[in-house]
Amino acid sequence: MTRLSAQIGRWTAWCETIAGYTWVAGYIAFLAIFTARPWTNIEAFASELGSPYFNALTGLQVLAFLQALLMLILTIAIYEYAPSSKKILARLGIAFALAFAILSSMHYYIQWVGVRQSILRNDLIGLGLFVQFNLDSPVSAINMLGWMFFYGLTTLVLAPIFGKSRLDGWIRWAFLINGIGCILSAVLLALGQKWIFLFWIVLISVTWYAYPLIGILFHRLQAQASS
């Protein structure tokens, strides 16, 4: 593995760690500060535009947007780390991570451009089908296809790449558990089980510890490549 590949992997893993745990802390703070407001209709949602509540939601969206893009870069760095016998798994991981990044980034950009601008023009007809927080909207389903199904597939195929050391083992188990849990969450959501959102959030929050460990792994690899 080259020094540059290890360096990119290291910094991407650290950025993924920061973005992920900032999202978790922000989400907990959001729930503590604001009263839960389940989706009712587009008029009620549009009335919140510009409020601290709406701005906090947007901040969480920005963090989630960054996480998907960082995951794609990190998967490419893991490809460089993978032994030749497991390169095929890393290539599959890149393909799944690319689908994850495209679906997720498309979804959030629709929120910032299509939804926000339509609310500013007071053009609300049919807009509820594009709002993330309407959990039955097609766009919300696209986001969950990325975050549950393709993110789960990404970590599931990457898990066997990591070796037998203690550090690799912790990463491997985190990716394996996350992958299985995310894919099952996608299936249950398709069956109408909305409670799975809570399980899924807890799952990715718990298994997110893999990213600081990947940062440590690539830090060691960078040091080896520089020596």
Give the whole-angstrom CA distance, residue 56 versus residue 30: 7
Range 182-187 average pLDDT: 97
Q: Kindly tell me if the per-residue pLDDT of 227 is higher than 80.
A: no
| pLDDT score recorded for residue 5 | 93
Q: Kindly tell me if the per-residue pLDDT of 35 is higher than 90.
A: no
The residue that leads in pLDDT, 36 or 177, is: 177
Q: Which residue from 74, 134, 77, 138 is spatially nearest to 106, judged by alpha carbons?
A: 138
Q: Kindly tell me if the per-residue pLDDT of 12 is higher than 90.
A: yes
Q: What is the token pair recorded at 8?
A: 């990119």
Quote the domain boundaries for residue 179.
3-226
Q: Kindly tell me if the per-residue pLDDT of 28 is higher than 80.
A: yes
Q: Kindly tell me if the per-residue pLDDT of 37 is higher than 90.
A: no
Q: What's the whole-number average pLDDT of the chain?
A: 94
Give the tens place of pLDDT for each residue, 67-91. 999 999 999 999 999 999 999 999 9
Q: Kindly tell me if the per-residue pLDDT of 38 is higher than 90.
A: no
Q: What is the token pair recorded at 114?
A: 């299509």
**pTM (2 d.p.):** 0.94
| pLDDT score recorded for residue 158 | 98
| pLDDT score recorded for residue 226 | 78
Say how many domains are in the chain. Answer: 1
Give the tens place of pLDDT for each residue, 94-134. 999 999 999 999 999 999 999 999 999 999 999 999 999 99
| pLDDT score recorded for residue 56 | 93
Supply angle C-alpha 24, 27, 31, rounded to 5.
Answer: 145
| pLDDT score recorded for residue 164 | 85
Give the whole-angstrom CA distance, residue 185 versus residue 150: 11
Q: Which residue from 221, 100, 106 is spatially nearest to 165, judged by alpha carbons?
A: 221
**Could you count the other beta carbons within 10 Å of the beta carbon of residue 12?**
24
Range 38-67 average pLDDT: 93
| pLDDT score recorded for residue 23 | 96
pLDDT confidence bin for 25, thresholds 50/70/90:
very high
pLDDT confidence bin for 49, thresholds 50/70/90:
very high
Q: Kindly tell me if the per-residue pLDDT of 36 is higher than 80.
A: no
Give the whole-angstrom CA distance, residue 190 versus residue 227: 51
| pLDDT score recorded for residue 43 | 94
| 203 Cα distance to chain centroid | 12
